[in-house]
Amino acid sequence: MSIEREKLVKIFKALGNERRFLIIKHLSGKKELTVNQISELIHLSFKSVSKHLLILKNAGLVDYKASNLNKIYFLRKKDAAKEFVRFF
């Protein structure tokens, strides 16, 4: 399998989960969110949200910056994510 194809498979697997899709949807509407903010928005525990964010980060969809004790997450390719979310 080509590297590009492997990347696409990883992205689609990450987005194939409803919770992760919701995270992407919320991040596409906001510039940045903390794990706590995402937890409140999708009604999921901090630990579960952290696991989902790790999968999204490994797929290259999100990244974070550290701010004091918080990680602030954002979309890596915001325009592409917005276009994708718009169809669903």
CATH number at residue 77: 1.10.10.10
- Is 15:24 a contact under the CB 8 Å cutoff? yes
Report the length, in residues, of the chain: 88
Specify the number of domains making up the chain: 1
Higher pLDDT, 35 or 15: 35
Q: Over the stretch 4-30, which tens digit does the pLDDT of each residue have?
A: 888 888 888 888 899 999 999 999 888
- Give the range of the structural domain holding residue 11, as residue numbers without chain letter: 3-86
User: Which residues make beta-bridge pairs with 74?
Assistant: 63
d(CA 61, CA 78): 9
The pTM of this model reads 0.83
Q: Take residue 44 and report the two structure tokens written for it.
A: 């999921």
Residue 9, SS3 per DSSP? helix
Quote the mean pLDDT of the chain.
87
